[in-house]
Each structure stands twice: as structure tokens, then as C-alpha cells.
């Protein structure tokens, strides 16, 4: 009887370890969805998990809709002691947009990827390709948003101090 109990305890101890298969460490607690501002509602089936701020702890992101102005956006909640929240769109400006209703593709870009904003000709509006002078190696997972047919969109990423937006084609 003692051996099966010991084996069960060892298995439970192993399963409760904080180390994930990728070498990341996670808090024992999940993100508290009560931290979602009352003015926002989560859009069903648009949740992402990733280490968005590069602290090796899995955070939460979702598309949201502002109940007051009906504008869509993105909410990020850090899985930290303070569970900081960040809202992009949903009435708040991000890259001259306040409504991100156009998002059809919503996914993570892995930490370590190099991203650059799209260069746009100021006179014609033509796309000139990535501005490699602004290459940035992601310190945390990025959040990529796009439209299916045109593949136009952007990426929100943590630059080490705050979230930043790059327009990407």
C-alpha cells in the first residue's frame, strides 16, 4: 500500500511543477478574468495565451467589444501580481484606429522572431516593403492581426517598456 501512495505523490508532485515543456515558468494561478474592464466584453473564441511581455509567464489576450461605443479592440492581461490590463482599439487609438472590427486572423508570433513595420510612400500610399532599419527581435510573443484576403494588418508587441504597434502587410 505504501508504494502506490508514494508513486501517486511523486506523480502529483511532478505534474504540479511550474516548468513547462518550453522551459518557461508559469504562475500557479491563471489570469483573473474579473480584471476585464466592465465596459468591455470578450469576443467568443478569440482568446490567445502567450508570454506577451517577455517575463516567461503565460499571459492572456482576447478580442473585445466596447459595450458603450460598440467598437472592437484587443485586451491583454499580464499574468503578474498586479494583473495589468492593456486595451488597444475599442475606442482607444492605436495606429490612428479606434475600431479593430476588421480583424479576421488573430494569432501569436513567437518570441525571438524579427519584425519590421511596412514602409509606405507618403505621396502615393504605395507599400514599399518592410522598413528593415526598424527591425525588432520580439522579447515576448507578439500578437498578429490581419484581414484574410489582403493580409494587411499589424502586430502588437512588448518593446521592453510598453506595447508597440507595427503595420505589417
Query: Left (φ > 0), alpha (ψ -120 to 50) or beta: where does 95 sit?
Result: left
pLDDT digits (tens, 9 = 90+) for 9-47: 334 333 443 333 344 444 446 788 888 989 999 999 999
Q: Round to whole Å and give the CA distance between 64 and 45.
A: 11
The answer to whether 46 and 104 are in contact (CB under 8 A) is no
Picking from 112, 117, 169, the residue whose alpha carbon sits closest to that of residue 142 is 112
Picking from 121, 62, 66, 127, the residue whose alpha carbon sits closest to that of residue 92 is 66
pLDDT digits (tens, 9 = 90+) for 80-118: 888 899 999 998 888 888 889 999 999 999 999 998 877
pLDDT digits (tens, 9 = 90+) for 106-116: 999 999 999 88
pTM, two decimals, is 0.77
Amino acid at each position: 500500500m505504501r508504494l502506490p501512495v508514494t508513486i501517486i505523490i511523486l506523480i502529483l508532485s511532478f505534474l504540479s511543477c511550474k516548468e513547462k515543456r518550453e522551459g518557461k515558468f508559469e504562475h500557479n494561478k491563471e489570469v483573473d478574468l474579473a480584471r476585464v474592464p466592465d465596459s468591455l466584453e470578450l469576443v467568443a473564441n478569440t482568446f490567445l495565451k502567450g508570454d506577451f511581455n517577455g517575463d516567461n509567464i503565460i499571459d492572456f489576450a482576447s478580442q473585445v467589444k466596447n459595450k458603450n461605443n460598440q467598437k472592437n479592440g484587443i485586451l491583454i492581461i499580464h499574468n503578474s501580481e498586479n494583473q495589468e490590463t492593456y486595451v488597444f482599439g475599442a475606442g482607444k487609438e492605436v495606429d490612428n484606429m479606434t475600431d479593430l472590427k476588421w480583424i479576421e486572423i488573430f494569432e501569436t508570433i513567437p518570441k525571438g522572431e524579427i519584425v519590421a513595420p511596412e514602409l509606405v510612400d507618403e505621396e502615393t500610399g504605395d507599400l514599399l516593403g518592410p522598413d528593415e532599419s526598424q527591425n525588432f527581435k520580439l522579447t515576448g510573443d507578439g500578437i498578429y492581426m490581419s484581414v484574410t484576403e489582403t493580409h494587411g494588418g499589424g502586430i502588437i508587441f512588448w518593446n521592453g517598456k510598453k506595447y508597440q504597434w507595427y503595420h505589417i502587410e
